[in-house]
């Protein structure tokens, strides 16, 4: 970035991953600006951003409505025909006394994506009509916090895994809802990518002139400034801290130099996850009763059975999602929490890459929980054959949620604090 550009636009942003302050130039549609130090995307532009995300969000919401209204999967077992609709995957879990798992399944697969899409539609419609609404700010603040909890793509993979398992029991037919949900998962992904938070806040609240004392190529903390993690604005801090703490001058979010007690919270959550991982593996994940006989399978046991029955690819998917991902995630976060306070062999760039990996893979562990939800909903034929969730379902669900929270409470900017504040810029 040239010196001329820096002085001309002065749209300063502090990277949420490494805290380096950069000046973002005017971006053309299709372009994005990355942090020159860690590569984190600071802003991206789309052609007709409002119309684009509005159209995608409406299409996604319509697909979800179709997915809810029609049959999801039907199965014929020895002449007994059963079919389920999408909401039954959560409702049946309530009937079999797993209300917490039911709540998490319904929220991550249906409710939160529906709320997010409604929020996008309301806010973009207001931006398009140039009608300022107080609730637009609230919705925009929630956007980035909702992203990791929307798991339509993970649910889709779980549905495919369930199909393979179900074909061993009976004849399976996919309903209209299944295909509608596939389309919904894809459109939801496209909608989240189309929403440009940086541009949105500019439309909602403008761009206040930056403090001329703030310089690029240095971390915000070193200049007694904080980059807002909600709207991106760099706020120069007053000499004294106000009684209620620092507040972003544009979006009103609370500002913290670093997330308060980040490492302590991360350690506590990791320890909880490790403890819960023991019952998650020791107890059965799924209990099957068939003609008076009961068979309970743990995560590892279920995986071995899949392998023995010739479903090697599905066994590998379950192994990666339920065993490998949680262990790798916990190990990486333990390592990063340690390295944020002690010197170690990795440089900050490598540590940031590891942190991004934990953010990327964590939610995929929910596959097995969704598989249990689908199997339980579809196979409830009384004495002939019924499937119930085991005690491990709740424990494993908690492991996934808690490790995700651990990744969120960890502040990646801590990884750069020991690397020095300056950065060579051209
Ligand atoms: Zn960065
Ligand atoms: Zn802000």
**Predicted local distance difference test score (pLDDT) of residue 132:** 67
CA of 418 to the centre of ligand 2 (A): 26
| Helix-then-strand count for the chain, H and E | 17, 14
pLDDT given at position 383: 59
CA of 412 to the centre of ligand 1 (A): 10
180's tokens: 């509608």
- Span 49-206+250-255 CATH architecture: Up-down Bundle (1.20)
Q: Is 307:380 a contact under the CB 8 Å cutoff?
A: no
User: Residue 137: nearest ligand to its CA?
Assistant: 2
Q: What is the pLDDT of residues 245-300, one digit of tens each?
A: 889 988 888 899 999 999 999 999 999 999 999 999 999 999 988 877 888 999 99
Distance 164 CA to ligand 1 centre (A): 42
**Predicted pLDDT at 197:** 83
Which spans in 362-424 are helix H?
367-378, 391-409, 414-417
The pLDDT of residue 58: 97
Ligand minimally distant from the alpha carbon of residue 17:
1
pTM of structure: 0.88
Instruction: For the chain, give the percent of residues with pLDDT over 90.
Output: 52
- Alpha carbon of 252 to ligand 2 centroid (Å): 6
Tokens for 58, please give them: 């409406």
Tell me the pLDDT band of 133, cut-offs 50, 70 and 90. low
Delimit the domains of the chain by residue range.
3-45+208-218+227-243, 49-206+250-255, 259-420
Distance, CA 129 to ligand 2 centroid (Å)? 23
pLDDT at residue 425, rounded to an integer: 36
Q: Residue 32 is inside which H or E element, if any?
A: strand 32-34
According to the model, what pLDDT value does residue 9 have? 54
Give the ligand at the shortest distance from the Cα of 249: 2
Please check whether residue 45 is in contact with residue 30, taking contact to mean a CB–CB distance below 8 angstroms.
yes
Indicate the pLDDT class of residue 2, thresholds 50, 70 and 90: very low
On the question of pLDDT at 167 being above 90, the answer is no
Closest ligand to Cα 232 = 2
Instruction: Report in angstroms the alpha-carbon separations of 181 from 144, 152, 163, 194, 299.
Output: 23, 8, 15, 19, 26
Kindly identify the ligand whose nearest atom is closest to the C-alpha of 40: 1
Q: How far is the CA of 337 from the centre of ligand 1 (A)?
A: 19
Instruction: Please tell me the number of the ligand nearest to residue 352's CA.
Output: 1
Phi, psi of 77 (to 5 degrees): -115, 110
Question: According to the model, what pLDDT value does residue 420 have?
Answer: 53
Ligand 2 centre distance from Cα of residue 207 (Å): 11
Are the C-beta atoms of residues 284 and 298 closer than 8 Å to each other?
A: yes
Rounded average pLDDT over 5-17? 72
CA-wise closest residue to 297 among 377, 393, 384: 393
Let me know if the fold of 49-206+250-255 is the same as that of 259-420: yes
Q: What is the pLDDT of residues 69-94, one digit of tens each?
A: 999 998 887 777 888 899 988 889 99
- Write out the DSSP string of 202-217: HHHH--PPPPTT--TT
Fold classification of 259-420 (topology level) = Butyryl-CoA Dehydrogenase, subunit A; domain 3 (1.20.140)
- Nearest bound ligand to the CA of residue 207: 2
Looking at the CA of 21, which ligand is closest? 1
Q: What ligand has the least distance to the C-alpha of 348?
A: 1
Kindly give the distance from the C-alpha atom of residue 253 to the centroid of ligand 2, in angstroms, as a whole number.
6
């Amino acid at each position: 970035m040239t010196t001329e550009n820096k002085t001309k636009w002065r749209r300063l942003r502090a990277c949420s991953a490494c805290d380096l302050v950069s000046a973002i130039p005017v971006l053309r549609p299709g372009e994005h600006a990355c942090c020159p130090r860690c590569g984190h995307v600071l802003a991206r532009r789309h052609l007709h951003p409002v119309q684009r995300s509005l159209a995608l969000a409406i299409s996604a919401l319509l697909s979800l409505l179709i997915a809810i209204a029609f049959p999801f999967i039907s199965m014929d077992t020895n002449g007994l025909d059963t079919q389920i609709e999408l909401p039954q995957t959560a409702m049946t879990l309530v009937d079999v006394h797993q209300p917490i798992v039911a709540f998490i399944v319904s929220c991550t697969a249906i409710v939160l994506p529906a709320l997010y899409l409604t929020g996008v539609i309301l806010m973009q419609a207001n931006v398009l009509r140039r009608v300022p609404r107080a609730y637009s700010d609230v919705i925009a603040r929630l956007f980035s916090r909702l992203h990791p909890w929307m798991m339509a793509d993970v649910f889709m993979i779980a549905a495919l895994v369930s199909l393979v398992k179900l074909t061993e029991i009976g004849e399976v037919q996919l309903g209209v809802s299944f295909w509608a949900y596939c389309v919904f998962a894809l459109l939801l992904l496209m909608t989240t990518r189309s929403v440009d938070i940086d541009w949105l806040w500019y439309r909602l609240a403008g761009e206040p002139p930056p403090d001329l004392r703030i310089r690029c190529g240095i971390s915000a903390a070193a200049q007694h400034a904080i980059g807002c993690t909600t709207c991106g604005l760099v706020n120069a801090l007053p000499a004294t801290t106000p009684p209620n703490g620092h507040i972003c001058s544009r979006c009103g979010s609370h500002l913290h130099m670093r997330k308060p007690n980040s490492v302590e919270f991360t350690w506590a959550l990791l320890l909880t996850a490790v403890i819960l991982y023991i019952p998650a593996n020791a107890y059965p994940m799924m209990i099957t009763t068939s003609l008076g006989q009961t068979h309970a399978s743990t995560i590892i046991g279920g995986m071995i059975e899949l392998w023995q029955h010739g479903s090697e690819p599905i066994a590998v998917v379950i192994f990666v999602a339920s065993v490998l991902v949680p262990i790798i995630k916990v190990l990486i976060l333990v390592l990063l929490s340690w390295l944020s306070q002690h010197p170690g062999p990795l440089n900050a760039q490598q540590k940031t890459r590891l942190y991004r990996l934990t953010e990327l893979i964590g939610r995929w562990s929910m596959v097995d929980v969704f598989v249990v939800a689908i199997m339980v909903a579809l196979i409830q034929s009384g004495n002939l054959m019924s499937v119930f969730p085991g005690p491990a379902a709740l424990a494993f669900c908690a492991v996934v949620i808690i490790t995700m929270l651990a990744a969120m409470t960890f502040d990646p900017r801590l990884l750069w604090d020991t690397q020095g504040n300056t950065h060579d810029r051209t």
